[in-house]
Amino acid sequence: MNTPLSPADLRARKAAGEPLVALTCYDAAFARVLDRAGVDILLVGDSLGMVLQGRETTLPVDLEAMVYHTACVARGRRRALVLADLPFLSYTTPERALHSAGRLLQAGGAQMVKLEGGAARLDTVRRLGAEGIPVCAHLGLLPQSVLRHGYHVHGREPAEAECILQDAVAMQKAGAQMLVLECVPEVLAAEIAQALEIPVIGIGAGSRCDGQVLVLYDLLGLTPLEGEPPRFVRDFLTGQDGGIAGAVRAYAEAVRARAWPSPDHGYA
């Protein structure tokens, strides 16, 4: 049994200037493929509500579904860090978050939990940290707040950009061990990655973050056909002959070479 990567390992990789490769993952079979292809972080994202359960948003995903899929992923990996999403309404208070995160760690085998939001979540990050639970913050586009704020690029206006930067700094200060930035302009993401010591993982945030994450099914060309896919989606499977493992390796190599995302897959 190999020792999985720890939050400290991820931080050391940032300090060494080595980009981190993350993908969403929801089961043991894919966990094995991704782990052996060198993916560093397996994110059991609540996106599973949309890609696996066929729902319109991530909001209906409950804690037990997250625990179930996290446990499946944890059984399939050897080296990658397992990061699990706290689902909608499972962290409305610090104590509720502690219970939910505890389930993801104890029954699911996660090593870190992710929560969405800025200033309003600082007490929760501190509470989890006080119990030794590593937390990843998530800023920019927040899928759990989509009914209120919609799906669009966040941080184009100077005031909003400053607010995201301040939230990022405050999250690190409160003890967050990592940050996911979703759908923000590349220059803002680069400024935040430079300002923080913790790794900043981008999705739709340009190539100057400390790592990248994608939804696995998007990488495999399984994005639903209705409507225009987001700019940061790319099919790495079509046109190469290494099958699923080859597509994952191609993505990992592109991230490590900072060749992904290219400017036309990011936002100004």
Q: Where does this chain bind ligand KIV (CB under 6 A)?
A: 24, 43, 45-47, 85, 180, 182, 203, 213, 215
Euclidean distance between CA atoms 79 and 174, whole angstroms: 27
Cβ-based nearer residue to ligand KIV, 59 or 240: 59
Q: Which of 182, 186, 197, 253 is catalytic?
A: 182
Residue ranges of E strands in 51-166: 81-85, 112-116, 135-140
CB of 241 to ligand KIV, least distance (A): 28
56 carries an active-site annotation: no
CB of 188 to ligand KIV, least distance (A): 17
Residue 171: CB atoms within 10 A of its CB come to 27
Q: With beta carbons less than 8 A apart as the criterion, state whether 151 and 178 touch.
A: no
Cβ-based nearer residue to ligand KIV, 224 or 242: 224
Residue 2: CB atoms within 10 A of its CB come to 9
The residue whose two tokens read 């990843």 is 136
CB of 101 to ligand KIV, least distance (A): 16
Cβ-based nearer residue to ligand KIV, 130 or 149: 149
Q: With beta carbons less than 8 A apart as the criterion, state whether 252 and 189 touch.
A: no
* Active site members: 182
